[in-house]
Amino acid sequence: MTIGVPKEIKRQEHRVALSPSAAYQLCRRGHRVVVERDAGVGAGYSNAEYEQAGAVLVSEASAVYAEARLLVKVKEPQPEEYPLLRPDLILFCYLHLAADRTLTEVLLRSGVTAIAYETVELHGRLPLLEPMSEIAGRMSVLVGGYYLARHHGGSGVLLGGVPGVLPGRVVVLGGGTAGVNAARMAQGLGADVTILEVDLERMRFLDITLHTAHTLYSNEAHLMDLLPSVDLLIGAVLVPGARAPRLIRRDMLRRMRPGSVLVDIAIDQGGCAETSRPTTHDDPVFVEEGVIHYCVTNMPAAYARTATQALTHVTYRYVEAIADFGLPEACQRHPGLLRGINIMAGRVTHPAVAEAHQMPYHPPPIHVDPDPYRPDAGTCRP
């Protein structure tokens, strides 16, 4: 199979979908890997490294799209790339379609088979989303602390405090992968950390593993009580494949102190605050109701080298399976991949995306036989 790797063109997106080592492994298996020139430069990978791995370098994205049967990207196609999509192409990348009706409609019209990293499942987990959630969670505390500085318009609170001065207060909405990584970073800095969560078993786990962080059942009353004293609020709520729930209304935000910071990690899925809107690394923040909002939709791109390595480590097995066996057999071997198919044959094939846009839902036309001896068994749901 021919696997294509275009250069990412989203603003300040420096990650690349395949590292040279992953390209090497695919070439060793007899596949053809076509890489757009300079696709890996932002992540520290030179053109020469891809050539040494056996990849073919081309100068135009159009050539990558034209030759590829399987197109592997990091972020969703941008408007300039829409005309390059075609019915016999398999697109494998982060899509976040529940928050983007326009892209959903473009993919439906193109006839492309669109597989979203963020909805591939393995034993109830989202293995292709987790490493980026880990990076975004850890990064949220770094950028939050940065924008709390007075010369950036913040309140001037140092999250860790100093002897004789209380530390800053961090509240994390959601105790999933992003939330727990945010809490660990904030705890490591010495901040006062509270995690709001609805899953009692998850709260028990957090209580045991995060020794100095507090857990609190997530509801509006508890959040309203916390907001007046919060310095850094981190939105890390995830509903797999669906639009993020709007937990923070504008009137609630007014309870926060001027100069406090909101980092909305959920912005890829629409954001968990009424006032959130997508931003870029070029212009990452804006102020609403006196609160600094950081809503960058591709946060891990800031640490492109680490993010690329973490991403390719988890995506490679699926890329290899699709290339070796084709999509139907790859789904048979890795049933969780079936949940990743969001668009196929001009139809919405993920229930959360269909619900978000009030579109008809059609299960992917791929049959998977349950096999209790397969490692991925049990992850496929109707």
Contact 305, 44 (CB under 8 A): yes
Residue 361 DSSP symbol:
B
What is the extent of the structural domain holding 316? Answer: 2-127+303-357
Known catalytic membership, residue 369:
no
End residue of a domain, out of 256, 275, 302: 302
For CA atoms 187, 270, 220, 197, give the dihedral sign: negative
| Same domain as 92, residue 210 | no
Band (pLDDT 50/70/90 cuts) for residue 193 is very high
End residue of a domain, out of 265, 280, 302: 302
How many domains would you assign to the chain?
2
Q: Report pLDDT digits (tens) over 343-360.
A: 999 999 999 999 999 999
| Same domain as 193, residue 82 | no
pLDDT for 350 equals: 96
Tokens, residue 44:
């520290």
Catalytic residue among 100, 231, 264, 268: 268
Helix 177-189, helix 130-147: angle, nearest 10: 40
Percent residues over pLDDT 70 in the chain: 97
Band (pLDDT 50/70/90 cuts) for residue 336 is very high
Catalytic residue among 96, 293, 334, 350: 96
pLDDT of residue 219 exceeding 90, the answer is yes
In 181-272 the beta strands, taken as DSSP E runs, fall at 192-197, 214-217, 232-235, 261-264
Query: Residue 368 domain-assigned?
Result: no
Band (pLDDT 50/70/90 cuts) for residue 372 is very low
Q: Report pLDDT digits (tens) over 28-80.
A: 999 999 999 999 999 999 999 999 999 999 999 999 999 999 999 999 999 99
Q: Report pLDDT digits (tens) over 93-131.
A: 999 999 899 999 999 999 999 999 999 998 889 999 999
pLDDT for 4 equals: 98
| Same domain as 153, residue 292 | yes
pLDDT of residue 378 exceeding 50, the answer is no
Query: Residue 375 domain-assigned?
Result: no
**Mean per-residue pLDDT, 294-308:** 96
**HSE toward the beta carbon, residue 147, CA cutoff 13 A:** 25
| Same domain as 206, residue 94 | no
Q: Report pLDDT digits (tens) over 236-288.
A: 998 877 888 899 999 999 999 999 999 999 998 899 999 999 999 999 999 99
pLDDT for 367 equals: 81
Sheet holding 291-294, edge to edge: 214-217, 192-197, 169-173, 232-235, 261-264, 291-294, 285-288
| Same domain as 297, residue 163 | yes
Query: Residue 363 domain-assigned?
Result: no
| Same domain as 279, residue 314 | no
pLDDT for 212 equals: 86
pLDDT of residue 379 exceeding 60, the answer is no
Q: Average pLDDT over the chain, rounded to whole?
A: 94
Pairing mode of beta strands 232-235, 169-173: parallel
pLDDT of residue 380 exceeding 80, the answer is no
pLDDT for 382 equals: 29
The CATH code of the domain that includes 314 is: 3.40.50.720
Known catalytic membership, residue 96:
yes
Question: Is 249 in a helix, a strand, or coil?
Answer: coil
pLDDT for 244 equals: 84
